[in-house]
């Protein structure tokens, strides 16, 4: 199954990294990544209910053809502007026939 191009929207990727201050101290935080073209929908279905249970109402599913620069624990700016911290983080990435299914959890 191919994804319909008109349904794909750009979302900003924020990578979870160890960042450092000018004085040398390190901390975990969000760093700018690339852009992900995806179709984002509410999560649902029997399999996801068994996997995530009550957390499912705070989750979304993104369908994307390519996931370059995206890995688990990275963040996506779905409903916030790109200059703020992401509102969803990547929980799982699954390969399906011709696309990827990305499970997103509210931060």
Contact between residue 69 and residue 12 where contact means Cβ atoms under 8 Å apart: no
**Shortest CA distance to 10 belongs to which of 42, 39, 32?**
39
Cβ-based neighbour number of residue 76 at 10 Å? 25
Chain-centre distance for alpha carbon 60:
9
pTM: 0.88
CATH number where 93 lies = 2.40.10.270
Q: What is the mean pLDDT of each run of 10 residues along the chain (107 residues)?
A: 90 93 90 94 89 89 94 95 94 94 96
DSSP single-letter state for residue 68 = T
The pLDDT assigned to 24 comes to 87
The pLDDT assigned to 95 comes to 95
Domain housing 42 = 5-106
The pLDDT assigned to 14 comes to 95
The pLDDT assigned to 10 comes to 96
The pLDDT assigned to 1 comes to 66
Q: How many domains are contained in the chain?
A: 1
């Amino acid at each position: 199954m191919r994804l319909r191009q008109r349904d794909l929207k750009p979302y900003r990727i924020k990578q979870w990294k160890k960042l450092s201050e000018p004085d040398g101290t390190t901390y975990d935080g969000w760093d700018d990544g690339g852009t992900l073209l995806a179709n984002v929908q509410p999560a649902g279905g029997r399999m996801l209910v068994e996997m995530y249970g009550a957390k499912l109402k705070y989750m979304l599913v993104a369908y994307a053809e390519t996931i370059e620069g995206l890995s688990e624990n990275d963040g996506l700016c779905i409903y916030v502007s790109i200059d703020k911290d992401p509102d969803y983080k990547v929980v799982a990435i699954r390969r399906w026939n011709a696309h990827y299914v990305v499970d997103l959890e509210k931060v």
